[in-house]
Amino acid sequence: MHQAGHLAHQFEDLAQQKEASTLGMWAFLATELMFFGGALTCFVVYRSFYAHAFAQASREHMSIPLGTINTAVLLCSSLTVAMGVHFARHGQQRKLIVMLLATIFLAITFLCIKATEYYTEYRHELVPGLNFHYPPHHHEHPDRLTANPANVELFFCFYFFLTALHALHMIVGVGIFSVITVKAWRGAFSPEYYNPVEVSGLYWHFVDLVWIFLFPLLYLLH
Amino acid sequence: MALLVVTVVATYLPWGSRIGIVIAMAIAIIKATLVVLYFMHVKGSSGLTKVFVIAGLAWLAILMGITLADYHTRPWLSGEAAMTVQPQER
């Protein structure tokens, strides 16, 4: 067991290195929290002033079933990541790789469902800057759509910005996990050195947390 | 952990408008707390890690709290609605 092989020279021991890298990831996650937090604060402010338009946009045009499925998919992917970290800690390489691949698969599932939602909104002419037209032509009862179209467009600006930002983070996460999976396949991790897996897991849990808050704010406004 | 999936379904039921968002947020906060404590291993981690987590959340709370307080006390201070700009017909 060559502990020194993984130990970078600036650290005294592996425990300190592990602590430092975990803290580094948490510092990054704190910046990400402010990034999404700023955007969400903006959304909350406008939602409180244009409540009627935002509620109507959410109620009429957001698919709650798809959103719920996506939330469940992402929560499961967090579970697979946590199990992967557990297997890494116990040196079970094959199960770790299975869990990592499961996470990647669930992430891609989420992104595919999101893409179909985006396509639907494109077809319904709800994309600001592209083809936004309100009330949309497909709606059965356009006289029920009493909100100010500009405010509905604002809702969709937020929707696309927030979910696209989140999807971008997910794509980066898929990339990170692909690299980690290849490294795991090559046997880079052991019970002594599995911190890259844990730290990637932290990032992924954060992405899941963002969605846990995005889902009720975007989909469940009535 | 599957409990978390169940709580998603529970938020489905449309209650009244104002209480609904409170309940949805409360459930989201509970889910988030569970994820942070257990999935992210914050519960068993060092004190310094917990400081980082709490600090990040504290700054977010300051950001959201003061911004919302600003916008929502504007009518109180100046006597007009805070968001009076509506798009005009051109």
Given this model, what pLDDT does residue A1 score?
A: 41
Q: Which of B34, B40, B83 to mutate to test the interface with A (most CBs of A within 10 A)?
A: B40
Alpha-carbon dihedral sign for residues B30, A212, A96, B49: negative
End-to-end CA distance of chain B: 54
Is A164 an 8 Å CB contact of chain B?
no
On the question of pLDDT at B78 being above 80, the answer is: no
Q: Under a CB-based contact definition with an 8 Å cutoff, are residues A70 and A218 in contact?
A: no
Total Cβ atoms within 10 A of residue B36: 18
| Cα dihedral B9/B11/B16/B18 (nearest 10) | -170
In the block, residue with structure tokens 């592996």:
A14
Residue A126, domain CATH? 1.20.120.80
DSSP string for residues in B37-50 = IIIT--TTS-HHHH
Q: How far is B30 from chain A (nearest CA, A)?
A: 10
The residues spanned by each domain of chain B are: 1-43, 45-83
Pull the structure tokens for residue A139. Answer: 């709606």
Would A200 be classed as within a structural domain? yes
Mean pLDDT of residues grouped by 10 in chain A (222 residues)? 64 84 90 93 88 84 85 88 89 90 94 93 83 76 75 90 95 94 88 88 92 86 72
pLDDT digits (tens, 9 = 90+) for B14-48: 655 566 667 777 777 777 777 777 766 777 677 88
Number of domains in chain A: 1
Q: Locate the chain A residue with the closest alpha carbon to B17.
A: A222
Is A24 an 8 Å CB contact of chain B?
no
A88 three-state secondary structure: helix
* Contact flag A34-B63 (C-beta cutoff 8 Å): yes
Q: What is the rounded average pLDDT of the residues B56-84?
A: 79
Residues of B in contact with A79 (CB under 8 A): 1, 39
Q: Closest Cα partner for B32 from A88, A58, A71, A170?
A: A71
Is A191 an 8 Å CB contact of chain B?
no
Pull the structure tokens for residue B25. Answer: 């947020």
Interface of A with B in 79-108 (CB under 8 A): 79, 81-82, 85
Given this model, what pLDDT does residue A180 score?
A: 93
Q: How far is A182 from chain B (nearest CA, A)?
A: 23
Dist. CA A216–CA B14, nearest whole Å: 12
Is A185 an 8 Å CB contact of chain B?
no
Would A17 be classed as within a structural domain? no
Would A13 be classed as within a structural domain? no
Q: Locate the chain B residue with the closest alpha carbon to A218.
A: B21
* Contact flag A41-B9 (C-beta cutoff 8 Å): no
pLDDT above 70 covers a percentage of chain B that reads: 53
List alpha helices for B1-90, DSSP H: 2-10, 17-34, 47-72, 74-78
Residues of A in contact with B90 (CB under 8 A): none
Residues of B in contact with A85 (CB under 8 A): 41
- Selecting from B41, B46, B60 the residue whose C-beta is nearest the C-beta of A19 gives B46
Q: Under a CB-based contact definition with an 8 Å cutoff, are residues A122 and A131 in contact?
A: yes
| Cα dihedral A136/A139/A143/A147 (nearest 10) | -50
Q: Locate the chain A residue with the closest alpha carbon to B59.
A: A34
Q: Closest Cα partner for A206 from B61, B59, B39, B8?
A: B39
Q: What domain range includes position A100?
A: 30-135+145-219
Helix then strand then coil, % of chain A, to nearest 5: 75, 0, 25
In this predicted complex, what is the ipTM? 0.76
Dist. CA A88–CA A96, nearest whole Å: 6
Is B66 an 8 Å CB contact of chain A?
no
Dist. CA A108–CA A127, nearest whole Å: 23
Dist. CA A187–CA A94, nearest whole Å: 10
Is A41 an 8 Å CB contact of chain B?
yes
Taking the model in full, what pTM does it have?
0.85
Q: How far is B74 from chain A (nearest CA, A)?
A: 12
Is B30 an 8 Å CB contact of chain A?
no
Residues in chain A: 222
Pull the structure tokens for residue B82. Answer: 């805070």
